[in-house]
Structure 1
């Protein structure tokens, strides 16, 4: 996803709005690989802030398929994010910045700013920790493995650990025949 900034880079305050699409980077969460369904759609505004700097602000959206962490069914979900990054013209001379600081400075060469890496990073940071197909997902039975979204299983509920029965006396209203 590359933005042509040739018309705005030398005029402080000048901006250009663009819509871009590009392939998302491969992503995985907790060992689950996300498969892209749609390309990443980006709506962005690039503004020259002077001193060879370009501020890029925008929104990105993509759809992925993944396996639900509760029921293991495959489902499609949207990922949306907003981003704001500042790019500086690449300079090939020794600078007073440390190597660590140089790694954090985003650069562009010539008349083009490539925002692909940062957009994909923002999308990855917008992913939930656990991918759940719906808030009502009941998951799998821990005993037989049946998908509880398809109905109850025939397994009997395990009673609590008998060694903890004396603790039920502390809150008898919550015990409810657990031991």
Structure 2
């Protein structure tokens, strides 16, 4: 299993010639020959340029090349172990018993309802009718626009444009 075919599981045995130019203790030689081999882990990382180069050649199918790579071989060899782990975890999940499951369910529903109500209340509070009177110079405000949090700032000035419903805050 010394060559590429051995790493891919195609050869049961490989031939290695070991040429030693120094004296070696017998125990070191024994561990060298009978020890466990170093694990081979593919360092393959697909890049955009690799895909472009494969697409440039008409005879080569990039999907076929990737399926035949050592990296994919290693990933495919782990599938049975992962499937077994999934089965064990599913059995553990099915065996779980939650004490007072009805109480936990009702608690979860109440917490979910509270979070929905607080979101509605937040939308109500930030309406200009209610928040404009509080926008005085020196007031600290947390600026969030369309989900983007711009952090905290201090109100320096406030103006209302008369023709439009636009409010300008200098923070």
Q: Same fold (TM over 0.5)?
A: no
Q: What is the TM-score when the length of structure 1 is the normalising length?
A: 0.19
Of Structure 1 and Structure 2, the greater helix share is in 2
Structure number with greater CO (CA < 8 Å, separation at least 6) is 1
Q: What is the TM-score when the length of structure 2 is the normalising length?
A: 0.20
Structure with higher Rg: it is 2
Of Structure 1 and Structure 2, the greater strand share is in 1
